[in-house]
């Protein structure tokens, strides 16, 4: 993950963005004693973009690959042992979302040039797992009482703001150093 990462977020002024941003902070404070870092709600489209990539060029290229307005559907909450995928929301992997992620990876991720097309396509089909992380943490397993609390909060959140959004914001983020200090280098609203 160190380097640059391309993110897709809900529109920043949308109710779902604000609700997810607030939930990420609340989960850190209430269930992890403030030890889990705060970050903006996002779907990572791809990482492994070299640090010397031109931020504006990356954003413009990614946006140019979108053929129709993106519709993002959150499906359910999931848990896993990986630090960056501890507590997260699964997102439906639509052809449009997969293509956006795959094209950005093919063009900019640090892949061997002769294999970039095949490697990016295989990654898009077999490995790309779109999701919105809610907690980054080393804690594992997640206790059942925490899961019950999280799922109740999500039920309330989704009843208030829904589980879907259209468009959003593509951002290029320098994912080096402490999570709460990752800078956004460029962005474009869709």
Q: Just list the catalytic residues.
A: 42, 131
Q: Phi/psi class of residue 95: alpha, beta or left (left: φ > 0; alpha: ψ in -120 to 50)?
A: alpha
3-class secondary structure per residue, the chain: CCCEEEEEECCCCCHHHHHHHHHHHHHHHHHHCCCCCCCCCCEEEEEEECCCCCHHHHHHHHHHCCCCCCEEEEEEEEECCCHHHCEEEEECCCHHHHHHHHHHHHHHCCCCHHHHHHHHHHHHHHHCCCEEEEECCCCCCCCHHHHHHHHHHHHHHHHHHCCEEECCEEEEEECCCCHHHCCEEEEEEC
The pair of structure tokens assigned to 75 is 């499906």
Return d(Cα 85, Cα 134) in angstroms, integer: 8
């Amino acid at each position: 993950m160190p380097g640059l990462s391309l993110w897709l977020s809900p529109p920043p002024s949308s109710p779902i963005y604000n609700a997810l941003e607030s939930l990420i902070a609340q989960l850190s404070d209430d269930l992890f004693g403030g030890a889990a870092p705060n970050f903006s709600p996002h779907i990572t489209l791809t990482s492994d973009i070299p640090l010397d990539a031109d931020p504006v060029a990356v954003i413009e290229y990614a946006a140019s690959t979108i053929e129709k307005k993106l519709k993002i559907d959150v499906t359910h909450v999931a848990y896993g042992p990986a630090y960056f995928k501890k507590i997260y929301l699964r997102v439906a992997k639509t052809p449009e979302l997969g293509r956006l992620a795959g094209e950005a990876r093919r063009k900019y991720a640090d892949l061997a040039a002769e294999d970039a097309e095949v490697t990016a396509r295989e990654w898009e089909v077999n490995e790309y797992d779109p999701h919105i992380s809610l907690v980054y943490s080393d804690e594992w397993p997640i206790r059942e009482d925490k899961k019950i609390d999280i799922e109740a909060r999500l039920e309330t959140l989704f009843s208030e703001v829904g589980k879907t959004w259209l468009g959003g914001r593509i951002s290029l983020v320098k994912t080096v150093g402490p999570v709460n200090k990752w800078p956004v280098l460029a962005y474009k609203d869709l």
